[in-house]
């Protein structure tokens, strides 16, 4: 049967699929709009499954803060390319995901993916797979955090779209809290103070420092002092309170907070693509290989 341009346009608006895909689906469905939309949906989900193994290390870090400023959520949503991360559809999806995290406090990623993206609509997972089919790249909701400030002030900071920070500061003022958030974005502390350093991380560093010191051939008491000194330096580098403040390296963050009568209760930091092994491509070598193989 003949398919009109108006039918194709309507199906495109419903599904986001290409013109030729919509026309073919309508032809197969004998003009039945609902059947064509369902067929495209199934086809799109199949395409999404095929793209699931592709590395997605670009995307956005997004933050949503509640109206009273007492709670906030932050999420990392990945795409394969920066080009897709700039698309409105991708950004709308990312914002909807972090809003859902803030509103419904999912226990983990599986719980989040099973929630409706919008009230009464598709789940986050269904919306993700539909977006993969529409955009043509693998898209992942990688991780999220949510924090509530019981007594302190909650501050957030986004460095572009690649680094996000939430920090809970008790005491001080909004400017101090924002300065601390910016410092965390720049200096990547592991934890607030020494009590938060993972035991396995500290043990590993002690082992490395001890081996280096023993190689010097110095007496045992000197080696012990050398290791202790290096551990102190290491803790100063990885703890927020021990780090030199980025705006004034002559004082530590700990001293800055003490002078203001403030303390950091907790912080969260997400950096886009952190820990994802990205595929590196050398296009010159790729072209040369093709030439040699032809």
- Reported pTM: 0.74
Q: Which fold has domain 194-258?
A: GTP Cyclohydrolase I; Chain A, domain 1 (1.10.286)
Buried b (16+ CB within 10 A) or exposed e, 27-49: eebeeeeeebbebbbebbeeebe
Q: pLDDT band at residue 294, thresholds of 50, 70 and 90?
A: very low
As a whole number, mean pLDDT of residues 221-238 equals 84
Give yes or no on whether 5-51 and 194-258 have one common fold. no
CATH class of 56-148: alpha beta
pLDDT tens digits, residue range 121-177? 889 998 998 888 888 888 999 999 999 987 777 899 999 999 999 999 999 899 999
Residues 128 and 141: beta-carbon distance below 8 Å = yes
CATH class of 5-51: mainly alpha
pLDDT tens digits, residue range 25-64? 888 888 888 888 777 766 665 455 555 567 678 999 999 9
Question: Domain residues of the chain, as ranges?
Answer: 5-51, 56-148, 194-258
Instruction: Specify the DSSP element, H or E, that contains 76.
Output: strand 71-79
């Amino acid at each position: 049967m003949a398919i009109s341009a108006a039918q194709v346009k309507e199906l495109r608006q419903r599904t986001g699929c290409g013109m030729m895909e919509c026309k073919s689906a309508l032809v197969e469905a004998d003009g039945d709009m609902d059947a064509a939309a369902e067929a495209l949906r199934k086809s799109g989900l199949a395409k999404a499954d095929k793209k699931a193994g592709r590395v997605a290390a670009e995307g956005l870090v997004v933050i949503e803060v509640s109206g009273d400023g007492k709670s906030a959520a932050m999420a990392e949503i990945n795409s394969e390319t920066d080009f897709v991360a700039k698309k409105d559809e991708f950004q709308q999806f990312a914002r909807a995901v972090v809003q859902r995290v803030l509103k419904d406090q999912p226990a983990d990623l599986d719980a989040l993916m099973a929630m409706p993206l919008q009230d009464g609509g598709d789940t986050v997972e269904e919306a993700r797979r539909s977006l993969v089919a529409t955009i043509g790249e693998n898209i992942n909701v990688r991780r999220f955090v949510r924090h509530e400030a019981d007594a302190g002030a909650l501050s957030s900071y986004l460095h572009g779209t690649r680094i996000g920070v939430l920090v809970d500061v008790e005491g001080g003022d909004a400017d101090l809290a924002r300065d601390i958030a910016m410092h965390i974005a720049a200096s990547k502390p592991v934890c607030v103070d020494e009590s938060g350093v993972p035991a396995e991380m500290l043990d590993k560093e002690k082992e490395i420092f001890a081996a280096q010191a023993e190689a010097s051939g110095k007496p045992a008491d000197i080696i012990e002092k050398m290791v202790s000194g290096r551990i102190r330096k290491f803790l100063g580098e990885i703890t927020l309170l021990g780090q030199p403040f980025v705006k004034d390296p002559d004082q530590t963050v700990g001293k800055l907070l003490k002078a203001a009568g403030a303390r950091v209760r907790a912080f969260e930091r997400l950096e886009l693509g952190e820990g994802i092994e990205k595929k590196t491509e050398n296009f010159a070598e790729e072209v040369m290989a093709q030439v040699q193989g032809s």
